[in-house]
Chains A and B, each alone.
Chain A
């Protein structure tokens, strides 16, 4: 009972250290989500719109990599950024930038595969109209991505959810350095191993609250989108 009380007081107090950890978590995962969306969503949509050689293989790779273990993504980025690695000179290892790169890599396949899924049924409906009006490639891509935006929100939120919740990738490339690369999940792992359960639990509460907010937002946007769907 006393543990719970101190958890709540920690959350309620939301001191500078806690605030810093939460802020870094959000900065890293939101940036990774933004980059993965900007790169992955157009690719996913293109895979739904056009037939070209290698399309099926790309889709297979994307859906396979949706299950990429975070530690493997972290390991890959670590090898690239470590001093002996090809990008070692950039000096990015154990920085928030390295964490953003690792999380972007981790969730990029999710954005590709889920955007593809969102655009496929729309393309089925629109194909004749696009052909009969002679719409060009860029307009086709823009139109489908815009009209699939409510379904694509699910892809973006799934990507963000995976990024904010993972611990393996950011631990390997970030190093969990206090005040520099320490985020919510790595703190929870560390504090638990130290027996400091109050702080670990407090961060768990924050993480769950964020997940709740994300889900509420997803449902509200989904409801908005259904107005445009044929019953």
Chain B
């Protein structure tokens, strides 16, 4: 099967009296790019953490292809807004998730080389990760997330601090990944970026999903007032 289908049923983070997120109910298409949108504090990062399995729901369920997210974390990749840089070389950073999977050395070096080539970081392989530029860091984080050949890739505002050229390069890589049948779930603040890339939109407001559907419909005729205000730049 290609891709991976995320489902949530009554998923909630935080106690009932002070809910941070949810209750959320959804079932996403197993392929394509789903953009998670919403104003600051709407819960985009928390949503992605819950979806990946980094946070356990306090109620309800979060599953990928019917399996609990918490138990299937290694089948997916995650790119953080500020990617953790291990105090190692770029190649060693990219190799880490493969080590976590217990993969042998020879296989690791072959797959790392492929991931670095794909993200155009081959000539930076032996540089300490801390010496990379902002754009290179995000590409390294992408290489690190893709090296395990995940069925789904989650990205938390990956282009938030990048210049236009680096953003374009990153978007190309993300689109190419989606083209290979990997499910993409990505948050963004950038409405133009969402228009360029999204197949579906998931719009969050104060921890709740208030719109979910095809990107075209969302941008042409948002159904809810908060989404309309957000698109008008008023939220």
Question: Quick check: A230 and B100 within 8 Å, CB to CB?
Answer: no
CB-nearest residue of chain B relative to A147? B87
In the complex, chain A residues 105-150 whose Cβ is within 8 Å of any chain B Cβ: 122, 125-129, 131-136, 139, 143, 147
Q: Which of A122, A128, A136, A143 contacts B54 (CB 8 A)?
A: A128
- B131 proximity list for chain A (CB < 8 A): 227
Residue in chain B with minimal CB distance to A229 = B130
Evaluate contact between A133 and B128: CB separation under 8 angstroms.
no
Q: Which residues of A contact B80 (CB under 8 A)?
A: 128-129, 132
Is the Cβ of B130 less than 8 Å from the Cβ of A227?
yes
- Could you tell me the distance between the alpha carbons of A229 and B21 in the complex, rounded to whole angstroms? 35
Residues A128 and B84 in contact in the complex (CB < 8 Å), given A133-B100, A143-B96: yes
Chain B residues positioned under 8 Å from A86 (CB to CB) = none
B96 in contact with A230 (CB, 8 Å): no
Q: Decide yes or no whether A228 CB sits under 8 A from chain B.
A: yes
Expressed in whole angstroms, the Cα–Cα distance for A139 and B83 within the complex equals 20
Complex contact A131–B100 (CB within 8 A):
no
Count of CB-CB pairs between chains A and B under 8 Å: 54
CA distance A131 to B130 in the complex (A): 21
Residues of A within 8 A of B99 (CB): 135, 139
* Complex Cα spacing A128 to B49, Å: 10
Residue of A nearest to B129 (CB): A228
CB distance from A136 to the nearest CB of B (A): 7
A95 to B135 CA separation, bound complex (whole angstroms) = 61
- Check if B231 is an interface residue, CB within 8 A of chain A: no
Contact indicator B86/A229 (Cβ below 8 Å): no
Interface range on chain B: under 10, 10 to 19, 20 to 34, or 35 or more? 20 to 34
Asked whether, in the complex, the Cβ of B128 is within 8 Å of the Cβ of A126, the reply is no
- Asked whether A231 is an interface residue with its Cβ less than 8 Å from the other chain, the reply is yes
Do A147 and B88 touch across chains, with their CB atoms under 8 A apart? yes
Bound: A139/B102 CA distance, A = 10
Shortest distance in angstroms between A206's beta carbon and chain B's nearest beta carbon?
36
Chain A residues near B86 (CB-CB < 8 A): 126, 129, 143, 147
**Contacts A132-B73, A132-B78, A229-B130 given; does A126 touch B84 at CB 8 Å:** yes
**Cα A105 to Cα B128 with chains together (Å):** 37
Contact between B85 and A132, CB atoms less than 8 A apart: no
B128 near A228 with CB under 8 A, answer yes
The answer to whether B74 has its CB under 8 Å from any CB of chain A is yes
- Cβ-defined partner of A134 (8 Å) among B73, B84, B130: B73
A147 to B84 CA separation, bound complex (whole angstroms): 13
Q: Is the CB of B87 within 8 A of A229?
A: yes
Which residues of chain B have C-beta atoms less than 8 A from A122's C-beta? 87
Q: A227-B130, A228-B88 are in contact. Are A132 and B96 (CB under 8 A)?
A: no
Q: Tell me the complex Cα distance, A228–B131, Å.
A: 8
Q: Is the CB of B54 within 8 A of A132?
A: yes
User: Which single member of B54, B85, B96 contacts A131 (CB below 8 Å)?
Assistant: B54
Q: Are B88 and A129 closer than 8 Å at their CB atoms?
A: no
Q: Which residue of A lies closest to B97 (CB)?
A: A133
CB distance from A227 to the nearest CB of B (A): 5
A128 to B87, alpha carbons, bound, how many Å?
15
- Minimum CB–CB distance from B46 to chain A (whole Å) comes to 13
Name 24 interchain pairs, CB-CB below 8 A, sorted by A: A122-B87, A126-B84, A128-B84, A129-B80, A129-B84, A129-B86, A131-B54, A132-B54, A132-B73, A133-B74, A133-B97, A133-B100, A134-B73, A134-B74, A135-B96, A135-B100, A136-B100, A139-B100, A143-B86, A143-B96, A225-B87, A229-B130, A230-B130, A231-B130
Which residues of B line the A interface, CB within 8 A?
52, 54, 73-74, 78, 80, 83-88, 96-97, 99-100, 128-131
B-contacting residues of A (Cβ < 8 Å)? 122, 125-129, 131-136, 139, 143, 147, 225, 227-231
